Amino acid sequence: MKLNELSPAAGSTHAYKRKGRGNGSGNGKTAGRGQKGQLSRSGGGVRIGFEGGQMPLARRIPKRGFNNIFAQPLTAINVSALNKFEEGETLNAEKLLAAGVLSKCEYGLKILGNGEITKKLTIQAAAFSESAKQKIEAAGGKAEVV
């Protein structure tokens, strides 16, 4: 196969329809826009969310809460994921990223208490849930806030 023999898969491309090029084309006169009305005019149409003058859904539903756009959310991980490491090891976000336990950790690490931990580990994180701290210390490890 050569570069000049390449072509798209059958049925993957469609012929462009030239609008407004005479009645014989099948898309002449009104060019597929119908007869009259807002959508037939050039520049016609309504903005996103417009409901014909009716109060839009985005304004009808009640507004609740607050979303802080400056928030720096912590990456959470459960204690059960820490069992794959060696006894006595010191863990931090960089080591967890290198081991593939975390895929990203932009603002810090929080350890949550779901599951069990069986190994004595020293864990350095930005935050610990109360149950996670208890489980780590019960296994003989240390929970260090950095």
Residue 1 covered by a domain? no
pLDDT at 1 over 90: no
Q: What is the pTM of this model?
A: 0.59
With a CB cutoff of 8 Å and minimum separation 6, the contacts of 17 are 27, 32
Does 53 map to a domain? no
Q: Is residue 42 part of a domain?
A: no
Q: What is the span of the domain harbouring residue 134?
A: 75-145
Domain total in the chain: 1
Does the residue 49 lie in any domain?
no
Decide the pairing of beta strands 109-112 and 142-145.
Answer: unpaired
pLDDT, tens digit, 9 for 90 and up, residues 88-146:
999 999 999 999 999 999 999 999 999 999 999 999 999 999 999 999 999 999 999 99
